[in-house]
A and B are shown apart, each in its own frame.
Chain A
Amino acid sequence: DGGITQSPKYLFRKEGQNVTLSCEQNLNHDAMYWYRQDPGQGLRLIYYSQIVNDFQKGDIAEGYSVSREKKESFPLTVTSAQKNPTAFYLCASRDSYNEQFFGPGTRLTVL
Chain B
Amino acid sequence: AQRVTQPEKLLSVFKGAPVELKCNYSYSGSPELFWYVQYSRQRLQLLLRHISRESIKGFTADLNKGETSFHLKKPFAQEEDSAMYYCALSGLTYNTDKLIFGTGTRLQVFP
Q: Which residues of A contact B (CB under 8 A)?
A: 31, 33, 35, 40-45, 48, 50, 58, 90, 92, 94, 98-105
Residues on B with C-beta less than 8 A from A43 are 44, 86, 99, 101
Number of contact residues on B: which range applies? 10 to 19
Residues on A with C-beta less than 8 A from B104 are 42
Choose one: B32, B98, B102; the contact of A42 (CB below 8 Å). Answer: B102
The yes or no answer to B17 lying at the interface (CB within 8 A) is no
0/1 interface trace, chain B 72-105, chain A, CB 8 Å (1 if under):
0000000000000010001000001111011110
A94 to chain B, nearest CB (A): 8
The yes or no answer to B65 lying at the interface (CB within 8 A) is no
The yes or no answer to B56 lying at the interface (CB within 8 A) is no
A64 to chain B, nearest CB (A): 16
CA distance A103 to B9 in the complex (A): 24
Residue of A nearest to B49 (CB): A99
23 example contacts (A-B, Cβ-Cβ < 8 A) are as follows A35-B101, A40-B103, A41-B103, A42-B86, A42-B101, A42-B103, A42-B104, A43-B44, A43-B101, A45-B98, A48-B98, A50-B97, A94-B97, A98-B32, A98-B90, A98-B96, A99-B46, A100-B46, A100-B99, A102-B43, A102-B44, A103-B43, A105-B43
The listed residue with most B CB atoms (<10 A of its CB), out of A42, A45, A105, is A42
Residue of A nearest to B9 (CB): A40
